[in-house]
Amino acid sequence: MKVLPLVYLLPLALAEDFRPLYHFCPEENWMNEPNGLIKIDSTWHLFYQHNPTANVWGNLNWGHATSNDLVHWTHEPLAITSGGGVEAFTGTAYFDGNNTSGLGTAQNPPYLAWYTGYITANETQDQRLAYSVDKGGTWTKFAGNPIISAAQEAPHDETGGLESRDPKVFFHEPSGKWVMVLAHGGQDKLTFWTSSDTKRWTWVSDLTSDQIPGLPSGVQAWEVPDMFQLPIEGTSDTTWVLIITPAEGSPAGGNGVIALTGSFDGTEFTADPVDPATLWLDHGRDFDGVMSWENVPASDGRRILAGIANSYGESPPTTTWKGMLTFPRTLTLRQTGPGNSLQFLQQPVQELAGVSGSLIATIQNQTITPGDTLLSSAQGIALDIQLAFSIDANAILSLAVRKAADEQTVIQYDSSNGTLSVDRTAAGDTSFDPGAGGVHTAPLQPDASGVVRIRALVDTCSVEVFGGQGEVVISDLIFPSESSEGLALTVEGGSAMLRSVEVHAISLSG
Ligand SMILES: *[C@@H]1O[C@H](CO)[C@@H](O)[C@H](O)[C@H]1NC(C)=O
Ligand SMILES: *[C@@H]1O[C@H](CO)[C@@H](O)[C@H](O)[C@H]1NC(C)=O
Ligand SMILES: *[C@@H]1O[C@H](CO)[C@@H](O)[C@H](O)[C@H]1NC(C)=O
Ligand SMILES: *[C@@H]1O[C@H](CO)[C@@H](O)[C@H](O)[C@H]1NC(C)=O
Ligand SMILES: *[C@@H]1O[C@H](CO)[C@@H](O)[C@H](O)[C@H]1NC(C)=O
């Protein structure tokens, strides 16, 4: 592991700047969504939209960090830089194991990254290629860039190619072709392109909202596509999954993330009918620009997602940094209900257990009744909290975190209507943006044995709340006072049987 630069270890001021403990954020300045997520040998690479010179969106480069466990991150030099009037916008990475691009050698095939070039002089976007022949350590821009010009995009884009971006590229085995999925800013469509050499691309199809049965009409302005195959649990089948960040229509406002299933023949994606109730991967305000790690070995087999937590632009009250990676989560698919419809499940990656130090509170098989307050002697700002309980028909169980006399973020389960919620109205500083407070809800039913499960990751300036087996998630940023570190577990309107409650303190120093 590389030694961290001294500046990262020293100033206490950084720790006081809402800096998360076990989530990635830039050492300094701005980040937005992750880019080019790829595992190479035992190293998880994280690239991300980064302004290294100011704490605002602009001057975008691919920042870079590496990890052996998705929890401890080492900051690395910029990977794909802005320069010559061209900024490096979002894109993805893939292993060119056959040296199809000719940019490596047969003995040392290259890793490729496709990104959007943003030409500042005329605000045009085109698609570009970079490659690495040292396992992702350094990246060289392809001399023939752009590989898709704005002029080539123009017939397929309402803005004449000005706003075509976010290339997701993968190799499609059955057709033997490379496939690119592009977003078109402000438009409700994606385009699909194919290539034999990773460098010359041909448009092959559009995917528009009217081709997705049941898609609510408000789900608009699609960005940041990701696409991959995922096994269906309990079967030998797989299905294609297409993930999109629409800028409009999400349950909590701001950008959100939808996940579609469907089939793909190498040129056209055919979407399964959409169930609006299970369409969104997250019901909170702060989960978007989601991508998944590629090149994860089959022996691991996980599809792991991460996005950006920050839907308020430059407004959050952090001074040295802006924008945080959501905690990496696995994505799986199960069949459910009479129609065997598919449902996504998400869970924090198991690597979190490696830093879940002391068990600071535990409760087993204890009934909680109105008037009781449990967990009040526990405290912390970096926690993994797991609850399993059964609850009376009209009762409401509330877990307050980051609690002080006049501050708290309340995670609640309302049994009367099967609703999981996160209430940020008294969470701390919500004045910086009209969307920073409020209550976010998601439907959640007890499991077949009547047990409700909730897992809450708390980290300095965020809560990520997973319901059930991960069929719903609510992710939100919060900005409480540093001293608001209490917990409280209460019930009203009836009682609850706490099967198991565990509160783990997260500690990176082990
Ligand atoms: C890989 O690309 C390099 C550079 O063009 C070329 O010299 C080499 O022969 C290629 N190898 C294979 C197996 O395609
Ligand atoms: C934008 O500028 C680039 C670089 O000078 C040029 O190649 C491209 O044609 C321009 N695009 C438009 C749409 O003007
Ligand atoms: C590499 O070549 C093998 C053998 O032709 C093929 O099965 C595989 O799909 C190719 N993979 C890529 C990424 O080109
Ligand atoms: C709690 O109750 C469940 C269900 O009755 C039982 O299986 C479990 O062993 C109990 N756990 C403890 C620690 O008593
Ligand atoms: C569930 O019921 C509670 C209490 O009546 C109410 O405040 C809340 O808005 C309801 N939630 C939903 C999603 O209907």
How would DSSP label each residue in 407-461? EEEEEEEETTTTEEEEE-TTSS--TT-TTSSSEEEEE----TTS-EEEEEEEESS
Q: How far is the CA of 180 from the centre of ligand 1 (A)?
A: 23
- What integer pLDDT is reported at residue 357 of this predicted model? 82
Peptide bond into 297 cis (omega under 30): no
Q: By alpha-carbon position, which residue is closest to atom 13 of ligand 2?
A: 124
Q: By alpha-carbon position, which residue is closest to atom 9 of ligand 1?
A: 105
pLDDT tens string, the chain, 510 residues long: the values are 233 344 444 444 445 799 999 999 999 999 999 999 999 999 999 999 999 999 999 999 999 999 999 999 999 999 999 999 999 999 999 999 999 999 999 999 999 999 999 999 999 999 999 999 999 999 999 999 999 999 999 999 999 999 999 999 999 999 999 999 999 999 999 999 999 999 999 999 999 999 999 999 999 999 999 999 999 998 999 999 999 999 999 999 999 999 999 999 999 999 999 999 899 999 999 999 999 999 999 999 999 999 999 999 999 999 999 999 999 999 999 998 767 789 999 999 999 999 998 899 999 999 999 999 999 999 999 999 999 999 999 999 999 999 999 999 999 999 999 999 999 999 999 999 999 999 999 999 999 999 999 999 999 999 999 999 999 999 999 999 999 999 999 999 999 999 999 999 999 874
Return all residues near 119 (Cβ < 8 A) that are at least 6 apart.
85, 86, 125, 126
> Is 266 within 8 Å of 194 (Cβ atoms)?
yes
d(CA 445, CA 450): 9
Instruction: Quickly tell me which residue has 């194919």 as its tokens.
Output: 194
Give the 3-state DSSP-derived string for 307-352, with helices as H, strands as E and coil as C: EEECCCCCCCCCCCEECEECCCEEEEEEEECCCCEEEEEEEECHHH
CA quadruple 20, 22, 26, 27: dihedral, nearest 10: 80
> Is 33 within 8 Å of 307 (Cβ atoms)?
yes
Q: By alpha-carbon position, which residue is closest to atom 8 of ligand 4?
A: 365
Kindly tell me the burial class for residue 338, based on how many C-beta atoms sit within 10 Å of its own C-beta (0-12, 13-18, 19 or more): exposed
Instruction: Quickly tell me which residue has 């993968």 as its tokens.
Output: 170
Q: How far is the CA of 103 from the centre of ligand 1 (A)?
A: 7
Q: List the one residue out of 203, 84, 86 whose CA is nearest residue 151.
A: 203
Q: How far is the CA of 101 from the centre of ligand 1 (A)?
A: 8
- What integer pLDDT is reported at residue 15 of this predicted model? 52
Atom of ligand 5 nearest to the CA of 417: 1
How many CA atoms lie less than 13 Å away from 266 in the CB half-sphere? 10
Residues with catalytic function: 33
Confirm or reject: Cβ of 119 under 6 Å from ligand 2.
yes
Q: How far is the CA of 119 from the centre of ligand 2 (A)?
A: 7
Confirm or reject: Cβ of 150 under 6 Å from ligand 2.
yes
Q: By alpha-carbon position, which residue is closest to atom 7 of ligand 5?
A: 414
Q: List the one residue out of 34, 82, 36 whose CA is nearest residue 59.
A: 82
**Six token digits for residue 473:** 């998630």
From the CA of 110, the nearest ligand is 1
Confirm or reject: Cβ of 107 under 6 Å from ligand 1.
no
Q: By alpha-carbon position, which residue is closest to atom 2 of ligand 3?
A: 98
Angle at Cα 375 formed by Cα 370 and Cα 381, nearest 5°?
130
- What integer pLDDT is reported at residue 5 of this predicted model? 41
**Six token digits for residue 368:** 């909680």
Confirm or reject: Cβ of 122 under 6 Å from ligand 2.
yes
- What integer pLDDT is reported at residue 397 of this predicted model? 98
Q: What is the DSSP letter of 7?
A: H
From the CA of 104, the nearest ligand is 1
Q: What is the DSSP letter of 237?
A: -
Pinpoint the alpha helices (H) of 75-231. 150-153
Task: Tell me which of 94, 98, 179 to substitute to probe ligand 3's pocket, judged by most ligand atoms within 8 Å of the beta carbon.
Answer: 98
Task: Tell me which of 95, 96, 99, 198 to substitute to probe ligand 1's pocket, judged by most ligand atoms within 8 Å of the beta carbon.
Answer: 99
Q: List the one residue out of 181, 183, 188 whose CA is nearest residue 209.
A: 188
Return all residues near 504 (Cβ < 8 A) that are at least 6 apart.
356, 357, 358, 359, 360, 383, 384, 385, 386
Measured in whole angstroms, the distance separating CA 337 from the mean position of its chain's CA atoms is: 27
- What integer pLDDT is reported at residue 365 of this predicted model? 98
C-beta atoms surrounding 84 within 10 Å:
8
From the CA of 395, the nearest ligand is 5
Q: What is the DSSP letter of 13?
A: H
Q: What is the DSSP letter of 209?
A: G
What percentage of the chain exceeds 70 in pLDDT? 97
- What integer pLDDT is reported at residue 464 of this predicted model? 98
Strands 396-404 and 486-492: antiparallel
Confirm or reject: Cβ of 195 under 6 Å from ligand 3.
no
Confirm or reject: Cβ of 171 under 6 Å from ligand 3.
yes
Angle at Cα 162 formed by Cα 160 and Cα 166, nearest 5°?
120
> Could you tell me the sign of the dihedral formed by the alpha carbons of 199, 200, 204, 209, in that order?
positive
d(CA 196, CA 194): 7
Atom of ligand 3 nearest to the CA of 94: 13
- What integer pLDDT is reported at residue 459 of this predicted model? 97
Residue 162 identity (one-letter amino acid): L
Measured in whole angstroms, the distance separating CA 435 from the mean position of its chain's CA atoms is: 19
Q: How far is the CA of 30 from the centre of ligand 2 (A)?
A: 27
From the CA of 367, the nearest ligand is 4
From the CA of 118, the nearest ligand is 2
Widest pairwise Cα distance in the chain: 70
> Is 286 within 8 Å of 476 (Cβ atoms)?
yes
Q: How would you label 387-410 residue by residue, b for 16+ Cβ within 10 Å and e otherwise?
A: bbbbbbeebbbbbbbbbbeebbbb
Confirm or reject: Cβ of 144 under 6 Å from ligand 3.
no
What is the pTM (predicted TM-score) of this model? 0.95
- What integer pLDDT is reported at residue 16 of this predicted model? 78
Residue 424 identity (one-letter amino acid): R
Q: By alpha-carbon position, which residue is closest to atom 7 of ligand 1?
A: 105
d(CA 209, CA 190): 9
Q: How far is the CA of 286 from the centre of ligand 5 (A)?
A: 22
Confirm or reject: Cβ of 173 under 6 Å from ligand 3.
yes
Atom of ligand 4 nearest to the CA of 364: 13
Task: Tell me which of 365, 389, 497 to substitute to probe ligand 4's pocket, judged by most ligand atoms within 8 Å of the beta carbon.
Answer: 365
- What integer pLDDT is reported at residue 509 of this predicted model? 77
How many CA atoms lie less than 13 Å away from 10 in the CB half-sphere? 3
Provide the 3-class DSSP secondary structure of residue 90.
strand
C-beta atoms surrounding 116 within 10 Å:
25
Task: Tell me which of 359, 366, 497, 499 to substitute to probe ligand 4's pocket, judged by most ligand atoms within 8 Å of the beta carbon.
Answer: 499
